[in-house]
Structure 1
Amino acid sequence: MTPSEVIEAVAPVAEAILPAASSRIERALLAAELARLATVNPQIIATIWNPKTCPVELLPWLAQGVSVDIWSDSWDESRKRQVIAASPMVHRLKGTLGAVRRALAAFELETEIVEWWQDGSRRGTFRVEIVYRHGSPVFDIETQGYAIEAVDAAKPKSRVFATRAALEARGRLSIAAYGRTALSATAHPYAFDPPVLRASAFVGATAATLISATAHSRPS
């Protein structure tokens, strides 16, 4: 069917929906919209509500539809889909630490929640520790800021929390040393019996060997 034939076919439906006092332009617009919807594959509509299959252009509207609390158009596609997927469960558990954990998980950050009774902090508080270690996402102050906002939106409203970022670095430790030998000789006019010969060895960051010899004259 041509577009005109489809519009003509749905025109009676448009007239039945609109009030009798509707204008001809209103009936024509509704008929055109119904004709457009009739050409849409219903299976495509099902993919729109799935964060894994929704077209990337429609992700902001899907986020609004599932009440995502924290959103940024600057995020990459993967993070947008993860935040949308986490939103329904976050809202089901909202006001609990379970909601906080799920909100943080969407940002792919390694986190640990420390309760007040675990470290002796003020009663009723908790702390969110974000760990950056070798192989984890690179420290990003903007991402961490969004994660903290997500915690604030998901946590119990009566709870006060603090955050701490822990950076774990991994690298090589190099130790260098060099050897040094020093000789010194001193002659004294006085005689000591027996003659003195001393040697000392020191081992550390710098290895040193000192040999000291003292020669004394004997009275004639």
Structure 2
Amino acid sequence: MSELHNGSALQSDIQSVSNALFAPVNTGADVVATLWSPETCPEPLLPWLAWSQGVEQWDEQWSDNTKRQVISQSYEQHKYLGTRFAITKGLQPFGFQTKIYEWFEKQPQAEPGTFSIDVSVTDKGIDNKVIEQIYTTIVQTKRKSVQFDLSVSLLGETELGFASAATSGITATVYPYYASEITSESSLCVALANQSFYQIKVYPRSSYVSASILDHADPSWSS
């Protein structure tokens, strides 16, 4: 006992032995967790998982994807059981397109408490098995007190694709640089103006004029 308290090698050996013993249990617990998921449950065990989830309609001829969808939506379908949502969800895993018209939605109005349902089959043909499957699903998901009219039709779907392409381009031509002769035409205009003014006063000699005229003459011109 003292060796265990001291953390001896014996404690490590016991731990290793216990891990080896509980390894299958731990592995089994992980496996059990996958069994309860529709995505990870092995296909042979899907019927048991469907039973545990309250799935009432089951066919081993369904594809693996259809089986898992039916199981995964079972809880949601039971949550809204008796509504048009539950009917639509019940038919959805099979690829059916559904339209429901209740009595007050029709023109003229139908008998109260009734509804009509149109189911379009797109990925398979219509035979008695398909019609029975549609009818059974509706009966299991509708309100028990209502009556309905069923119409099943074959719907073909196709995709119409359009494609267009546009191209554009620019062509550029590059020539080497060439310096050509540069000519320039211009004219030079010169204008010159000169203006001169001379004032000349001519007076007669003093011997020929009277004294009154000389009084107004410039003395520099007298002799």
Q: Is the 8 A contact 2:103 2:112 kept in 1?
A: yes
Cross-structure match for 1:139: 125
Whether 1:41 and 2:45 are equivalent positions in the alignment is no
Whether 1:167 and 2:154 are equivalent positions in the alignment is yes
For residues 118 and 127 of structure 1, the distance between their equivalents in structure 2, rounded to whole angstroms, comes to 10
**How big is the alpha-carbon RMSD for the aligned residues of Structure 1 and Structure 2?**
2.6
Q: Deviations over 1:136-155 (max 9, x none)?
A: 31223323322321111111
- Which residues of structure 2 form unaligned runs of 5+? 1-16, 159-223
4+ residue segments displaced more than 3 Å: 168-171
More strand by share: 1
Normalising by structure 1, report the TM-score: 0.55
Q: Is the 8 A contact 1:127 1:162 kept in 2?
A: yes
For residues 64 and 119 of structure 2, the distance between their equivalents in structure 1, rounded to whole angstroms, comes to 23
Counterpart of 1:157 (choices 140, 144, 147) is: 144
Cross-structure match for 2:182: none
Cross-structure match for 2:93: 106
> When the two structures are aligned, how many residues end up with a matched partner?
137
For residues 102 and 123 of structure 2, the distance between their equivalents in structure 1, rounded to whole angstroms, comes to 25
- 1:39 shift after superposition: 6.1
Cross-structure match for 2:72: 85
Distance 1:92 1:170, change over 3 A: closer
Normalising by structure 2, report the TM-score: 0.55
Q: Is the 8 A contact 1:107 1:147 kept in 2?
A: no
Asked which structure has the greater CA Rg, the reply is 2
Counterpart of 1:122 (choices 111, 136, 156) is: 111
- Which residues of structure 1 form unaligned runs of 5+? 10-34, 172-220
Percent identity of paired positions between Structure 1 and Structure 2:
29
For residues 60 and 138 of structure 2, the distance between their equivalents in structure 1, rounded to whole angstroms, comes to 19
For residues 131 and 69 of structure 2, the distance between their equivalents in structure 1, rounded to whole angstroms, comes to 16
